[in-house]
Structure 1
Amino acid sequence: MSARLGATAAARAPLLPPPRAPAPAPPALLLRLLPCAGAGAAAGAGPGAPGGPRTRHLVQLLALLLAASGYGLLLASSALAPAQLPPLPSAAPAPAIAGPALAQQAVLPRPAAAAAAEEEEGGGEGEEEGGLDARALEAEMEARRRRVWKVCAERGLQREGEPNAWEFFIDSHHSLVWCNVFKAASTAWLYNFNLLAGYSESFLRRSLKMPLVLARARYPRPTPQQLRAALPDSLSFLIVRDPFERLLSAYRNKFEGLRNRFYRKLGREISSRQPRRASPPPPPPPPHPNAVDAGDAPDPRLPGPTFEQFVDHVIATGLRAHKPKFDEHWAPYYRFCTPCHVNFTVIAKVETLSRDEEYIIERAGLRGALLATARRRERPRKVTNRARGAKATADLVARYYATLTRAQLRDLYRIYGTDFDLFGYNASKYFDLARPDPA
């Protein structure tokens, strides 16, 4: 209570009026009475004594009358000095901000003890986290999880098979489980998991080994039993993106330029098996093609299969094969990460990646280990991509998907439609871009 009163007094101190001009000297009678009153109070004088009750009453009356004239300090230093009253708290400086700015103080971090107490009672107002109200973000994540389970139940996917544990990373030390979806922020999170595994940033910059090879040396591929055992006590997450954008990103990265030996061979096989159609080739990509994905820029000296030929290959292996088999870079999410068998704690999206990544790091308690690194890696990506990223990606999507017919789009959607439904994406814009079916 005393601390609260002190704070109140301090807050009000700047509002006191300025000191008045010095008052004239007090009457000699008052100066003679004050020492007597002080002595009587100290010695416990009787009623008739000069320092007794009557005299004290007289002094108190005079003090009240003279306080407004500026004699308060004189009375405090002489007549009231023997009582040793505690001094008033020193005046606090006036706040440096006022008006609307004062309202912003409510979202500053609270002391740890206050936060813990409020959490124990069930939480207070929504808090800012990564620039977004924490309650709103929690509600969005819950809505994403509910949507996945609703679609899984409607399509009966929870009854088919078991989790595809092969593609998961389990970090038991940090209680973290991640399904690595290629072409959906996988490079950034392989880097994060390598940091958590103990590799230094300088080593990762110098190493000639692929990040996936380094990560698998520390995080072996788990069995379904190991995955099930790890999930209850871990924060589990996956990152998704628009399925057809991911498909285009995989095509550009693996076949435009054929820089990888495996995909160079596969590209030749696709070109030989899938006939070229009489569709116009897409215009050259924009000057900054990394807006779809870093590292997607093609090498024009090594032409590969057209996007239309690649799509025909995906359709042939995904619909017409007896047992569909997909490359890991364009396998549907529902087959690759089996979200109908794994109740992920967090479903993040590339479209809201910065916010969702920060949420994952905060929830996992890895702010000190990863957040600064994630923000450093995000800065150059913002500079190169964000200003024109959305427009450049839309331009690329329009260029490539305009080479497909609506029949091809329908077949593609039969493969990836479950992913669109599971994670709330809309494929209608692609059908608007596609060419009419040939007569």
Structure 2
Amino acid sequence: MGTSRMFRIFVVLGSAFMILLIIIYWDDVGASHLYLHTPVSPGPKIPHPAPPQPPQTSRTPSFLSDIDAFVNQFLEPGTGEPTDPAPADSSNQSEKAEERYIPRREWKIHLTPVAAELRERQERRRRLLQEMCANDSVVFPGKNRSFDDIPNKELDHLIVDDRHGIIYCYVPKVACSNWKRIMIILSESLLRDGVPQRDPLAIPRDLVHNSSMHFTFNKFWKRYGKFAKHLMKVKLKKYTKFLFVRDPFVRLISAYRNKFELRNEDFYRRFAQVMLRRYANQPTPPASVDEAFGVGIHPSFSHFVQYLLDPQTEKEMPFNEHWRQVYRLCHPCQIQYDFVGHLETAEEDAEHLLRQLRVDNVVEFPTSHRNLTASSWEADWFSTVPVEARRELYKLYEPDFRLFGYDRPESILNE
């Protein structure tokens, strides 16, 4: 009898100890409060302050499966949605935490569901991605590798918001500045007078693109060590993942206009001088962008295309992120994105996404009044580019055209 009682005591103590270790570990990875997305439905979510980080504790790999099982108790398989959400209790928030939050505008109550047309649009885009990734006729480097095989340096465009369970892969020249602003607002990584910033447009541009403002996948190794890849996969499974894309050729025109038609000292020294020397018969180009613009010298769009097609370019360094292909930035055949936005339908897509994430009561997507590059301008921009070069450029960006449903630009390629 005594032996049986002692055995039961040891079982109870051992179980309690294991649960305590799991809670400590999960709190350490920043998800003990389970800020995961919930389905679109009426009613507010009570904001919870992020808990203080406990000191690092020793861990063993055997805890990983226990953590997954612990989280899965609260989630429907494959959805990341609470199975039995309990009402939030704000009574235990400290006075300091209450002071940290400014009053938000009235909670939005959605009396109608998201339009069927928008839901169907997203289903088509996700299905197309899956089909293209499984289609042997769509070939590009790295397509068939596993997520584990992606080098850490290629994961720097995946921004994580643990507070709301969101992962955003940013693509330069596709409204990424405004989406980065929204991620800063949601993650509360920028304080103003001790209060989280709530106005996206009030965030200075230099901070928007400051890497210290964003927690990206490539930073996991420094924080989590050998558990980094496992935690990435846990978050990829449970969080809502999204990206925004645009017509690949129009994106290139936009990149050229922004980086080479405007005065940009960094891009002039790193890229424009190279183009001028190689393709514009300028063996000694002006030393600075001001000098170059002063005498009316800058690389043409045709020079830019030559630079992209030149094999020497990528031998020296990988494509800059502003013209690197989306499949190289966001790995759509290794990551199953839940939402694929297009810049061509940006306003509708942004409203749909923020509502799906249930953060449209916290932040709105800023309306852009800048001079956007239009697809109707393509013929004019490519008029100085030889047809054969246009076709080679299409081959270089064809995976992006096909993965994201953009038509082959026949009028440009067959002149």
How far the C-alpha of 1:258 sits from its partner, in A, is 3.6
Give deviations 1:217-274, integer Å, cap 9, x for gaps.
3424444714322111111000000000000100111111342324344201111012
Contact 1:409 1:430 in 2 (8 A): no
Q: Choose which of 237, 246, 249 in structure 2 pairs with 1:232.
A: 237
Query: 1:311 matched to which residue of 2?
Result: 305
Q: How has the CA–CA distance of structure 1 residues 237 and 418 changed in structure 2, closer, same or farther, with 3 Å as cutoff? A: same
How far the C-alpha of 1:322 sits from its partner, in A, is 5.6
Contact 1:179 1:237 in 2 (8 A): yes
How far the C-alpha of 1:201 sits from its partner, in A, is 4.8
Q: Which has the larger radius of gyration?
A: 1
Q: Choose which of 176, 180, 185 in structure 1 pairs with 2:175.
A: 185
Contact 2:207 2:213 in 1 (8 A): no
Query: 2:58 matched to which residue of 1?
Result: none
Q: Choose which of 212, 216, 227 in structure 2 pairs with 1:216.
A: 212
Tell me the number of residue pairs that the alignment of Structure 1 and Structure 2 aligns. Answer: 276
SS at match of 1:174: coil
Structure 2 distance, partners of 1:324, 1:259, is: 20
Structure 2 distance, partners of 1:425, 1:183, is: 16
* AA at the equivalent of 1:308: S
Q: Choose which of 136, 160, 167 in structure 2 pairs with 1:170.
A: 160
The answer on 1:411 being equivalent to 2:392 is: yes
How far the C-alpha of 1:325 sits from its partner, in A, is 2.1
The answer on 1:363 being equivalent to 2:356 is: yes
Matches within 5 A, 1:286-305: 303-305=297-299
How far the C-alpha of 1:149 sits from its partner, in A, is 1.5
SS at match of 1:159: coil
Give deviations 1:11-54, integer Å, cap 9, x for gaps.
xxxxxxxxxxxxxxxxxxxxxxxxxxxxxxxxxxxxxxxxxxxx
Matches within 5 A, 1:93-112: none
Matches within 5 A, 1:263-274: 263-274=268-279
Give deviations 1:367-425, integer Å, cap 9, x for gaps.
11113xx2xx31x63xx66xxx6xx7245322211111110011101110011011111
Query: 1:396 matched to which residue of 2?
Result: 377
SS at match of 1:348: strand
SS at match of 1:170: strand
Structure 1 distance, partners of 2:382, 2:357, is: 39
Query: 1:340 matched to which residue of 2?
Result: 333
Contact 2:166 2:240 in 1 (8 A): yes
Give deviations 1:327-353, integer Å, cap 9, x for gaps.
100101111111011000001100111
Structure 1 distance, partners of 2:203, 2:396, is: 40
Query: 1:205 matched to which residue of 2?
Result: 202
The one of the two structures with greater contact order (alpha-carbon pairs below 8 A, sep at least 6) is 2
Contact 1:258 1:304 in 2 (8 A): no
User: More deviation in 238-247 or 261-270?
Assistant: 261-270
Q: How has the CA–CA distance of structure 1 residues 430 and 332 changed in structure 2, closer, same or farther, with 3 Å as cutoff? A: farther
Give deviations 1:255-304, integer Å, cap 9, x for gaps.
1134232434420111101246xxxxxxxxxxxxxxxxxxxxxx787632
Query: 1:45 matched to which residue of 2?
Result: none
Query: 1:62 matched to which residue of 2?
Result: none
Contact 1:182 1:328 in 2 (8 A): yes
Structure 2 distance, partners of 1:111, 1:313, is: 52
Structure 1 segments unaligned to the other structure (5+ residues)? 1-108, 113-119, 121-125, 277-298, 435-439
Give deviations 1:62-81, integer Å, cap 9, x for gaps.
xxxxxxxxxxxxxxxxxxxx
Q: Choose which of 154, 159, 171 in structure 1 pairs with 2:144.
A: 159
Q: How has the CA–CA distance of structure 1 residues 242 and 206 changed in structure 2, closer, same or farther, with 3 Å as cutoff? A: closer
User: More deviation in 242-251 or 396-405?
Assistant: 396-405
**Bigger helix fraction:** 1
Contact 2:244 2:342 in 1 (8 A): yes
Q: How has the CA–CA distance of structure 1 residues 186 and 235 changed in structure 2, closer, same or farther, with 3 Å as cutoff? A: same
Structure 2 distance, partners of 1:415, 1:250, is: 16
How far the C-alpha of 1:429 sits from its partner, in A, is 4.3
Query: 2:48 matched to which residue of 1?
Result: none
The answer on 1:249 being equivalent to 2:254 is: yes
Structure 2 distance, partners of 1:332, 1:203, is: 27
Q: How has the CA–CA distance of structure 1 residues 111 and 183 changed in structure 2, closer, same or farther, with 3 Å as cutoff? A: closer
Contact 1:240 1:348 in 2 (8 A): yes
The TM-score normalised by the length of structure 1 is: 0.56
User: More deviation in 405-414 or 259-268?
Assistant: 259-268
Q: How has the CA–CA distance of structure 1 residues 321 and 345 changed in structure 2, closer, same or farther, with 3 Å as cutoff? A: same
Q: How well do the aligned residues superpose, as a CA RMSD in angstroms?
A: 3.3
Contact 2:174 2:251 in 1 (8 A): yes
Matches within 5 A, 1:56-95: none
Contact 2:129 2:333 in 1 (8 A): yes
* AA at the equivalent of 1:146: R
* AA at the equivalent of 2:165: S
Q: How has the CA–CA distance of structure 1 residues 363 and 209 changed in structure 2, closer, same or farther, with 3 Å as cutoff? A: same
Contact 1:255 1:263 in 2 (8 A): yes
Structure 1 distance, partners of 2:146, 2:268, is: 30
Give deviations 1:162-217, integer Å, cap 9, x for gaps.
3442211011111000001000010110111121232325796374734110x633
